[in-house]
A and B are shown apart, each in its own frame.
Chain A
Amino acid sequence: MTQLILRDLVKRYGDTEVLHAINLSVDQGEFVVLVGPSGCGKSTTLRMIAGLEEISSGIIEIGGRVVNNLEPKDRNIAMVFQNYAIYPHMTVRRNIGFGLKTSKLSKPEKDARIDEVAGILGMTEYLERKPAQLSGGQRQRVAIGRAMVRDPAVFLFDEPLSNLDAQLRTQMRLEIKKLHTRVGKMMIFVTHDQVEAMTLADRIVIMKDGHIQQIGTPAQVYHEPANTFVAQFIGAPQMNLLDATGTGTGVRLWNGAEIAVPGITLAPGRKLRFGIRPEDLTSGAEGLLSGTVTVAEPLGAETLIYVDVGGVEVTATAPGRTPPRAGDKIGLSLSGEAAHLFDADSGLSLRAGGA
């Protein structure tokens, strides 16, 4: 029943339009991640859903009700902030209970609710502590607890993991995902980290300059990127994008190498961008592309190698214990099936019926 709908959502600051007609529909219980570089409008969108930013035009609907002119408290939402926004002068119990301040529950009911939430988050023994006596991860849990205690229809997260160190971030990411499975509520999560987006989301919304670039499951945005921006934003290391031209049944790369690409017909001479992920390139003594390794970055399980192919840098991964080293001359081979093709001018994918 609870569904969130954004219809032609626009945000203007004076004459500057920062969000251009955003359309999005999220189902009950869905975990949607808004991801994009800074300034792409993801946080603004979230704050408009929360009611902290005014809507310039368009409609926001929560549970079948237009909430454009409703105060945040009447929207049935809760928000977790990047800097936690927990009050340093209150105990954990009072902080979590602050979300119930306006609730009509009796005092014992409120206490029971706080205890229940603290139990779920494993914070029961810290209830009488002040935030200064907690670690970063525990503070984040208090912030999540304050959102949970209100039992909202929609949880909003504004980069909640950015202030944590790398290890703790991975751990909290897992906990948020478990929490989602447990409470089953709709969650909208904003981040600039594509790994967070891939690991957490049921669906990812990739944004850039106030436009939605693609909406899809993690597998969709990874395997079928809609354009070159998505192709390079999702996945680490970045996808290689090489200049190429069509040959009818395949493509000819900038250096003259020809590759057959099954299932697609390309007008001869058509200018293209040929995308290939580093893990789809196989290194060996011989290959379609040959060049010199400039840098090798060992990651343990595999090694990232940067290869200079006639003046163009191509990234590839090499598995095993004896990877190529800087200065080695190697060949890279690839299969046309792994290729992503984009129009050279528009950057749109030619696979997804873009043509």
Chain B
Amino acid sequence: MAVDPSAHDTTKAPNAPRWGLYGRLSVGQKRTIWAWTFLAVPILFYVIIRFYPTGNAMVLSFQDWNLLGARTWTGLDNYTRLFSDPVFWQVFRNTFAYLLLGTPISLVISFVIAYHLDQVRFMHGTIRALYFVPFMTSAVAMAWVWRWFYQDVPIGLFNNLLATVGIPQVRFLNSTTNALPSILAPAIWAGLGFQIIIFMAGLRAIPRTFYEAAKIDGVSTWTVLWEITLPLLRPTIVFIVVLSSIGFLRIFDHVFNMTSANPGGPLNSTKPLVLMIYQSAFSSFDMGYAAAQTVVLFVVLLIVSLIQLRLLKDR
């Protein structure tokens, strides 16, 4: 490296550029270079691990492939087969049942708990931790514990309790009508802790003087809730609704683990779209068909999220 004699010239500014090309860049350009250096790794990762397979799956949905053989073009065959498959429509209904029951129920329960917990000072931290524990528990472990709850006498907890008070047995997981709500219950319970924490953060962010001003105006608790608290919680509600909707549309592990003898049963009454995709891909090895179902799920998720954002974010 040649030493520039002017570097020792004291008449020049002490921090005059002397490190070649990089040293001659402006502060803004240097920042850009560093930002892209750090961004490059995750971008590369996402392109290879996420975006490439997504595109590939879309292509695959127009092909026939059993994982080992050649991929052959079949046009729209996978989609026509899907839309004329009664199991698919059953699964489609199930998926929306999870969404349309799960999201509002979990939203209301978590808000009611957060709203009251916010006013409790006694053992506040402990109570909040108790609500958060299910969120940290593995879905598989939780599903198996609840599965035990739902068993018949003399094993299952719920039926034993019912038996002691003389109420007839309820067939939780073996009935086509009861199975879906029975699986939904632990799924809602699992997400509750997270939603409560988010709601409480939202409640805390509302300035106290808003409530004091309302108190001086003498409006009822109900009016305060509907006209002050809920409208000001709108961003929080949007966040929770979108997040929990995506969660319920993608429900899989609770269903799979609670009906593992006959996944999605009885008679497909609990089978969600993700489970159908799983079975098409890894039981039937019908990758093209699974890809077509995946594309449908992708479109559904996209539409539902966009509708919610539009509806709830309005102004």
Question: CB within 8 Å of B: which residues of A?
Answer: 50-52, 71-74, 77-79, 81-83, 85, 87-90, 98-99, 101-102, 146, 150
Contact = CB atoms under 8 A, between A and B. Distances in A.
Given A71-B218, A72-B218, A101 B223 contact: yes
B209 A73 contact: no
Given A73-B217, A78-B216, 15 more contacts: A52-B212, A72-B215, A73-B215, A73-B218, A74-B218, A79-B216, A81-B212, A87-B227, A88-B232, A98-B227, A101-B218, A101-B223, A102-B218, A146-B213, A146-B217
A146 B213 CA distance: 10
Contact of A85 (B213, B227, B232): B213
A158 to B, nearest CB: 9
6 tightest A-B CB contacts, nearest first: A73-B218, A85-B213, A85-B209, A89-B231, A72-B216, A81-B209
A285 B282 CA distance: 103
B228 interface: yes
Contacts of A89: 231-232, 234
Interface string B185-225: 00000000000000000000001011011111111000100
20 contacts: A51-B216, A52-B212, A52-B216, A71-B215, A71-B218, A72-B216, A77-B216, A79-B216, A83-B207, A85-B207, A85-B212, A87-B228, A88-B232, A89-B232, A89-B234, A98-B227, A101-B218, A102-B217, A146-B213, A150-B217
A102 B218 CA distance: 7
Contacts of B218: 71-74, 101-102
Nearest to A95: B213
Contact of B216 (A50, A82, A90): A50
- B210, B217, B219 — which one has the most chain A CB atoms within 10 A of its CB? B217
A101 B218 CA distance: 8
B229 to A, nearest CB: 11
Contacts of A72: 215-216, 218
Contacts of B223: 101
B247 to A, nearest CB: 28
Contacts of A73: 215-218
Contacts of A79: 212-213, 216
Interface of B: 207, 209-210, 212-219, 223, 227-228, 231-232, 234
Nearest to A86: B213
Contacts, number: 57
B217 A99 contact: yes
B219 A101 contact: yes
A52 B215 contact: yes
Nearest to B219: A101
A interface, by DSSP: helix, strand, loop or mixed?
loop
Contacts of A82: 209
Contact of B217 (A52, A81, A90, A98): A98
A172 B303 CA distance: 51
A82 B219 CA distance: 21
- A51, A71, A99 — which one has the most chain B CB atoms within 10 A of its CB? A99
B219 A98 contact: yes
Nearest to B208: A85
Contacts of B213: 79, 81, 85, 146
A227 B198 CA distance: 53
A260 B97 CA distance: 96
Contacts of B212: 52, 79, 81, 85
A71 B228 CA distance: 20
A346 B213 CA distance: 42
Contacts of B227: 87, 90, 98
A342 B227 CA distance: 56
Nearest to A84: B209
B210 A101 contact: no
A72 B211 CA distance: 12
Contacts of B217: 73, 98-99, 101-102, 146, 150
Nearest to A101: B219
A68 to B, nearest CB: 16
B220 to A, nearest CB: 8
Nearest to B231: A89
Nearest to A47: B212
A39 B70 CA distance: 80
Given A89-B232, A101-B223, A83 B216 contact: no
A124 B209 CA distance: 25
Contacts of B232: 87-89
Contacts of A146: 213, 217
Nearest to B220: A102
B215 A83 contact: no
Nearest to B214: A98
Contacts of B234: 89
Nearest to B210: A85
B273 to A, nearest CB: 37
Nearest to A99: B217
A125 B207 CA distance: 28
A68 B256 CA distance: 62
Contacts of A99: 217
Nearest to A88: B232
Given A52-B212, A79-B213, A85-B213, A102 B219 contact: yes
- B213, B228, B234 — which one has the most chain A CB atoms within 10 A of its CB? B213
B275 to A, nearest CB: 41
Nearest to B217: A99
A90 B213 CA distance: 14
Contacts of A102: 217-219
B209 A83 contact: yes
A321 to B, nearest CB: 44
Contacts of A51: 215-216
